Amino acid sequence: MKGCFSRVAFLIVLGLFLVSFQTPAPVFAEGAKPATPPAYLTLSKAIDVALKKNLEVRAIHAKYHASLAAKSMATSGFFPKINLTEIYSRSDNPVYFFGTSLNQGKFAMSDMRINRLNNPPTLSNFLTRLQIVQPIFNGGDVWIGHQQAELMVKSTGEEKAQKEKAIILSVIEAYDGVLMAKAFLGVIQNAVKTAKRHVQIAESMYRQGLVVKSDLLSARVYLFSLQEEEIRAKNMVTLAMTALNDAIGYPLQWRYELEGMMVGGPPPSQPIEAYWSQALAHRNDLKSLEFKEKVALKEIEKAKLHFLPSLNLMGNWDNYDEDFGHSGGKDWSLMVVANLNLFGGGYDKFKYDKAKADYERIHFLRMRMESGIKLQVRQAYLRVKTAANQLKVAKTAVQQARESLRIVKNRYKNRLTTVVDVLDREVALKSAEVQLTQAKYNYETGLAKLKFATGSLSRDFPKKRELLE
């Protein structure tokens, strides 16, 4: 028994030794978040950080690495399988005693006595077996499986690229969302300062008897309404900053200053059909589905080959002995094993039917995706086109609102109009400035969505702003 435990312990140690070479290093510490927030953050920097820190990006990278491992697993099917087996047995069964004694090479003429054969002593045996199996043909599982694994690596690579573009888009929208919220807050805060001055002027003029009390009350009511808007605008900034931190992968409570501004631009220069063609040629998610469609076709081919016999080459080397580590009886064998599944309950036929149905499903999904991509392109195209026109109108409206306010203020100073007219012009200017900010946001995010829809969005998107600022 001591030899049994020694041999088992040896195999366990050998197994642990081999596993130690295959255990990957832990990755949990990778991408640790910095301890303090940055003082300033540009859009380019936000995109770069998000492509490293965002958990969805890290998840899709892990999926891509898994596909590479799956490809290596499929490739391993071309190589022989080598197994080392150790079996300990002990019995007084007559057949066991007779056969094992022969295998150990220790069978003697005295063992041929009838009493010895009918009532043999207890015999221990250590069987050390080295087995090598070389697949030759297994219904296409190895060769076609390898091709499928290569296609899945390409498909997952396209998924990774698409996810990175989606993260870039989310960062752009969140970053511009903060800029827009801060711009709204700035407009409201400027309006609050102006309204406070109006209240002071109205109070002074009221004490002098130059205006009626209703003018003073109107100015105060307008100031109160702006102060309420200021509270909501501050909350908008907080929520927008939280959304940006979430998109980047920063702690949600971090606060920092943003650099740059939304600049706007011209409408799309090409017809919608050109953007459709670009999208169908460059969308990564469409390419990913096309690779999966090819995988499904390979599965049909594999299902057909399963109707053929499988063929394997197998070799065994055995060592039999009563004690561990001793050289006892040895033998070897070489076999060619062919197997033909004559009837398996219709499994292979149903597997073929399933493969065809899976291919049709992916094929129809790809066709549906093409239509959906065209819809996304049209929506983004019209958003950019509309925003570009809104920008022109909004800029003109702001200029005219400022001029109108200047004229009314002069008339009010000369007591040719009431404070209500001044407040109306203030509201008009504030509204025009808000519309201009909204138009810039719609243009910038619409342009990013158009590039995303056509598959051309990249981390270089902010360079346009850097050139125009």
pTM: 0.79
Question: What's the pLDDT score for residue 411?
Answer: 85
Share of the chain above pLDDT 70, in %: 90
* pLDDT bracket for residue 467 (50, 70, 90): very low
Asked if pLDDT for residue 304 goes beyond 80, the answer is: yes
Segment 259-285 shows an average pLDDT of: 91
Decide: helix, strand or coil at residue 84: strand
Up-side HSE of residue 122: CA atoms within 13 Å toward CB? 5
Give how far Cα 64 sits from Cα of 166, 195, 247, 249, Å: 16, 58, 21, 20
DSSP label at residue 150:
H
Span 153-163, average pLDDT? 96
> Residue 139: pLDDT band by 50, 70, 90 thresholds?
confident
What is the mean pLDDT of the segment spanning 443-459?
Answer: 93
Mean pLDDT value of segment 429-433: 85
pLDDT given at position 375: 96
Which pLDDT score, from 0 to 100, does residue 226 have? Answer: 87
pLDDT at 75 over 50: yes
Round to whole Å and give the CA distance between 149 and 260. 45
User: What is the spatial distance between Cα 203 and Cα 218, in angstroms, rounded to a whole number?
Assistant: 11
Residue 2 confidence (pLDDT): 47
Q: How many CB atoms neighbour CB 447 within 10 A?
A: 22
Q: How confident is the model at residue 16 (pLDDT cuts 50, 70, 90)?
A: low
Comparing CA positions, the residue from 101, 144, 141 lying closest to residue 310 is 141
Question: What is the set of domains in the chain, with CATH numbers?
Answer: 2-17+37-80+134-306+315-468 (1.20.1600.10)
Q: Classify the C-alpha dihedral 139-141-146-150 as positive or negative.
A: positive
CA 151 to each of CA 76, 165, 280, 397, 465: distance values in angstroms, whole numbers, following the listed order: 17, 21, 19, 55, 38
